[in-house]
Amino acid sequence: MTPHAPEEDFSDADIEVSEPKTYAAGLGGVFHSMEPALTQMGLARTVKLMTKINHKDGFDCMSCAWPDPDHRKIAEFCENGGKAVTWEATPLKVERSFWREHSISSLEDKTEYWLGMQGRLIEPVYKAKGSDHYEPIGWDAAYALIADHLHALDTPDEAAFYTSGRASNEAAFIYQLFARVLGTNNLPDCSNMCHESTGTAMTHTVGIGKSTVAYKDFEESDLIIIMGQNPGTNHPRMLTALQEAKERGARIVAVNPLPEAGLIGYKDPQRVRGYVGKPTQIADQFIKIRSGGDMALLQAVSKRVLDAERADPGKVLDHDFLERHCDGFEAFAAHIDGVDEREVARATGIPVSEIDELAERYLNADRVIICWAMGITQHRKGVDTIREIINLLLLRGNIGKPGAGASPIRGHSNVQGDRTMGVWEQMPDSFLDALGAEFGFEPPRAHGVDAVHGIRALDQGKIKVWMGLGGNLLGAISDTNLAESAMRKTRLSVQLSTKLNRSHVVTGEEALILPVLGRTEIDMQVSGPQYVTVEDSVCAVHASHGQIAPISDQVRSETAIVAGLGHATFGDRHGIDWRAMMRDYDVIRDHISRVVPGCESYNEKTRTRDGFVLPNGPRDERRFDTDTGKAHLTVNELEHVECPPGRLLLQTVRSHDQFNTTIYSLNDRYRGIKKGRYVIFVHPDDLAELGIEDGQSVDIFSEWRDEPDRVLRGFRAVAFPTARGCAAAYFPEANVLVPLDSTALESNTPVSKAVVIRLEPSRSPAGVGRPAVV
């Protein structure tokens, strides 16, 4: 079958809604992952790529940052990894004729699904001021154009350089160098919208913004608590680790407003039993919490731990650990004593017995891991909630011992590595000092803009050049309508991308799309084929080798593009040899080894088959690099989202067939949705109270301060067993409803998991899903 891109865009006209599933993967998982690969890529390409994913001589799967076990299976990937690879390695191309046939404004009506399905971008294209078309442009001309724009700025802070977490360490390092040589720390990234709350909370309390567990800790833990994460869809290989943990007797607790299939049960597609047997029960306890109730839950559990210590002095807390390694205990304990159980009940929406049960499980376990993801970070009190996770772990010494720890599960496959390499608008002076010393220049010190402040700055006309190293900021950021009008105000927008998305359609006055090599492809430079390096969720760094020929001889690697741009913009300013870094990535890695802490001998260490694990104070030696040298127990004022009567708390989630703003198909198998995305999941009793029928078309109004309501029209209400008072809709569509100023305290992460909404019967038929501002 010859692959072809869809000509028509989708609608929800044929949507099918059925009962949600109660277990993940199994035969369906394998089938679903191979089907698109086979039809789009053909058998030979499929086998070649699928047997190289996450292998030691292969490439790193770009679908998530879940770590690799030491013993890899023949197929060390999951259904959704298969989809990510297929999406990138498709032979479909956006040909020159596409740009002639489609004006930019005609693409504005297209969905992310349609845009992404057009195929790979294969040559640089340029949109001139006033033009409604992209046209081919040569690489050198593109570099010169960007350099001219940068030289014309009044200050370097009029430029901003966004990064998405798929960039390799080499690309990220050279990119942040480029920005800082120009003279700005404007390095917003996807992490600002993702695990920023984690970084803020953990750096403050334990001195490092990363997981304190290694892969083997999952093999040694007694209790794993999974909060605000949907691993069955977003980190499917984690289910294998959870299943193995269950089989050796560990207990698992899931805390989530949605009964996610992968948290309930699992059939391993790579075992014979996975095809025919019964699913393994995953969660021993499923706490169906109200959105944003986690902070109250954690405080209530800590209270029970302190009460247990009082009842049995000296036996419950890890006194030795608390005395030697922690401070802040007295103030913390006094504060927790005052926790108001009625407020906890209101915030969590669960009975006391469930909290007692969780506390019991915590007290009975010697080694506890707490994992979390977006259901925790993307809340106004996300940072405080994570500090409460740390409090609870510290009480019984559950950090820095085998089988225990705090484990944020990262999103993008290299989002953690990009940060390690300096992609952050607020890198510490120690990093900037080392960077300046290595390259002989004085890096800027003032903090730059993050993603939300970047949109604000664009809106105020303060940013004249916006560049994106991957990603799709306009699809990913909150307040779509505002963000888009902000982007249109800039002079030049530049995207380094594999495939089309919204950020290519809504642009600055002038715009460039620079097509990049994907991770599956061989990266050939003057000195030979290059490998790149990445860091996973548990700080393991290893090499990734491209496997197949590039989609076109016109695409360039991200590293080569940034190096080319560096040369075009700066020549040999400060004696920096950009072209040497392009010719041989070892040169970049040598720089990394002298600038980035923990990366000494980076070339040698990343050439070994296993790579290496970055040092981690809490994990390795219970060393806490905080201001006092001790881990802090902290006092966090309880606050939960008040939802006025008749309103619901909307969270925005990923379907099973998408990767962030990339939509692979219109199905969400585990939640029982097929051929549609414009749905809102609401508890049947809430629907009844609101007088709305299951299946009825509704308009969704987001209420924020005294601003006009943000609206999505014509969504189908779907009765769903979520927690009472809560609702869920898919991101990126629902981003229209998230106010730009609604961000987490301290981390400034958009509050994508708690939008106060009201529903009204719609005059549009269900499935229209058009955003509008009233």
Residues 6 or more apart whose CB falls under 8 angstroms from that of 604 comprise none
- Farthest-apart Cα atoms in the chain, separation: 77
x-or-dash pattern for ligand MGD, window 501-540, by CB under 6 A? x--------------x-xx---------------------
Structure tokens at 429: 């002076």
Least distance CB 470 / Mo ion (angstroms):
13
Residue 164 binding partner per list Mo ion, ligand MGD, none, with a CB distance cut-off of 5 to 8 Å that depends on partner kind: ligand MGD
Find the shortest distance in angstroms from Cβ 659 to ligand MGD: 4
3-state class (DSSP) for residue 538: coil
Closest to 82 measured CA to CA, from 95, 64, 69: 64
Cβ neighbours of residue 559 closer than 8 Å, sequence gap 6 or more: 168, 170, 171, 174, 523, 530, 532, 581, 582, 585, 588
Q: Nearest approach, Cβ of 642 to ligand MGD (angstroms)?
A: 14
563 touches, from ligand MGD, Mo ion, none (C-beta below 5 to 8 Å by class): none
Residue-wise over 483-493: b if at least 16 C-beta within 10 A, else e? Answer: bbebbebbbbb
Binding segment toward ligand MGD, per CB under 6 A, in 8-16, 277-285, 303-311, 374-382: 374-382
Identify which of residues 194 and 406 has a Cβ nearer to Mo ion in the complex.
194
Candidate ranges 129-137, 274-282, 326-334, 646-654; the one touching ligand MGD (CB under 6 A):
646-654
Residue listed under structure tokens 């990049």: 516
Q: Which residue in the set 41, 172, 181, 193 belongs to the binding site for ligand MGD (CB under 6 A)?
A: 193
Window 294-313: residues binding ligand MGD (CB under 6 A): 294
Q: Tokens representing 638?
A: 């309880």
Q: Give the span between the Cα atoms of 526 and 375, in whole angstroms.
A: 45
CB under 5 to 8 A by kind: which of Mo ion, ligand MGD, none does 221 bind? none
Closest approach of ligand MGD to the CB of residue 317, in Å: 25
> Which residue's beta carbon is nearest to the bound Mo ion?
411
Antiparallel, parallel or unpaired: β 658-659 and 662-663: antiparallel
Q: Which residue has the tokens 């560049």?
A: 467
Q: How far apart are CA 512 and CA 769, in angstroms?
A: 30
Q: Total number of residues binding Mo ion (CB under 5 A)?
A: 2
Cβ nearer to ligand MGD, comparing 282 with 289: 289
Per-residue binding string, ligand MGD, 117-146, x by CB under 6 A, is ------------------------------
Sheet holding 285-287, edge to edge: 285-287, 251-255, 223-227, 368-372, 405-408
Q: Which of 29, 124, 292, 725 binds ligand MGD (CB under 6 A)?
A: 292
Residue 227 contact partner, candidates ligand MGD, Mo ion, none, CB within 5 to 8 A by sort of partner: ligand MGD
Tell me which residues in 101-120 interact with ligand MGD (CB under 6 A): 116
Cα–Cα distance measured from residue 71 to residue 99, given in angstroms and rounded to the nearest whole number: 47
Query: For residue 748, how many other CB atoms are within 10 A of its CB?
Result: 18
Show contacts with ligand MGD in window 216-235 (CB under 6 A).
227-230, 233-235
- Whether the CB-CB separation of 76 and 68 falls below 8 Å is answered with yes
Which part of the chain contacts Mo ion (CB under 5 A), choosing from 69-77, 194-202, 224-232, 499-507? 194-202
Angle between helices 294-311 and 341-348 (to 10 degrees): 140
8 Å CB contact between 262 and 282: yes
Contact stretch for ligand MGD (CB under 6 A) within 68-76, 310-318, 388-396, 731-739: 731-739
Q: Which of residues 390-449 bind ligand MGD (CB under 6 A)?
A: 411-412
Does 371 help bind ligand MGD (rule: CB under 6 A)? Answer: no
The position carrying tokens 């996975």 is 274
* Residue 194 sits in the site that holds Mo ion (CB under 5 A): yes
The partner in contact with residue 731, picked from Mo ion, ligand MGD, none with C-beta cut-offs of 5 to 8 angstroms by kind, is ligand MGD
Among 289, 449, 452, 711, binds ligand MGD (CB under 6 A): 289
Cis peptide before 529 (omega within 30 of 0): no
CA dihedral 426, 429, 431, 432 (to 10 degrees): 90
Closest approach of ligand MGD to the CB of residue 164, in Å: 3
Asked if 474 touches ligand MGD (CB under 6 A), the answer is no
Nearest to residue 163, comparing CAs of 185, 140, 138? 185
665 lies in the binding site for ligand MGD (CB under 6 A): no
Sheet strand arrangement including 159-163: 135-136, 125-127, 510-515, 492-497, 465-469, 159-163
Comparing CB distances to ligand MGD, the nearer of 371 and 539 is: 371
Task: Return all residues near 338 (Cβ < 8 A) that are at least 6 apart.
Answer: none
Out of 36, 82, 119, 375, name the contact with ligand MGD by CB under 6 A: 375
How far apart, in whole angstroms, are the C-alpha atoms of residue 55 and residue 103?
42
* Binders of ligand MGD in range 154-173 (CB under 6 A): 164-166
Interface residue with ligand MGD among 149, 367, 654, 671 (CB under 6 A) is 654
- Alpha-carbon torsion 631, 632, 638, 639, what sign? negative
Q: Name the segment binding ligand MGD (CB under 6 A); options: 1-9, 36-44, 580-588, 655-663.
A: 655-663
Residues in CB range of 705: below 8 A, 6 or more apart? 739, 741
- First vs last C-alpha separation in the chain: 46
Minimum CB–partner distance for residue 271 and ligand MGD (Å): 21
Question: Rounded to whole angstroms, how far apart are CA atoms 481 and 534?
Answer: 34
Task: Please give the angle made by the CA atoms of 236, 49 and 270, to the nearest 5 degrees.
Answer: 40
In the stretch 358-397, what mask flags binding to Mo ion with x, by CB under 5 A? ----------------------------------------
Is residue 710 near ligand MGD by the rule CB under 6 A? no
Task: Name residues contacting Mo ion, limited to 390-419 (CB under 5 A).
Answer: 411
187, 239, 390, 476: which one binds ligand MGD (CB under 6 A)? 476
Three-state DSSP at 629 gives coil
Beta carbon of residue 272, minimum distance to ligand MGD (angstroms, whole number): 25
Residue with Cβ nearer Mo ion (411 or 676): 411
Question: 529 has which bridge partners?
Answer: 524
Q: Does 473 bind ligand MGD (CB under 6 A)?
A: yes
194 binds ligand MGD (CB under 6 A): yes
Question: Which residue among 45, 288, 499, 545 contacts ligand MGD (CB under 6 A)?
Answer: 499
Host H or E run for residue 174: helix 169-182
Distances (CA, A) of 306 to 327, 332, 366: 16, 10, 16
Class of residue 278 by CB neighbours under 10 A (exposed 0-12, middle 13-18, buried 19+): exposed
Under rule CB under 6 A, which residues in 553-592 are in contact with ligand MGD? 558
Q: Residue 324 and residue 341: Cα distance in Å, rounded?
A: 32
Residues that bind ligand MGD (CB under 6 A): 63-64, 80, 116, 164-166, 190, 193-194, 227-230, 233-235, 255-258, 260, 289, 291-292, 294, 373-375, 378-379, 411-412, 469-473, 475-476, 496-499, 501, 516, 518-519, 558, 651-654, 658-662, 731, 734-735, 738, 752-753
Residues that bind Mo ion (CB under 5 A): 194, 411
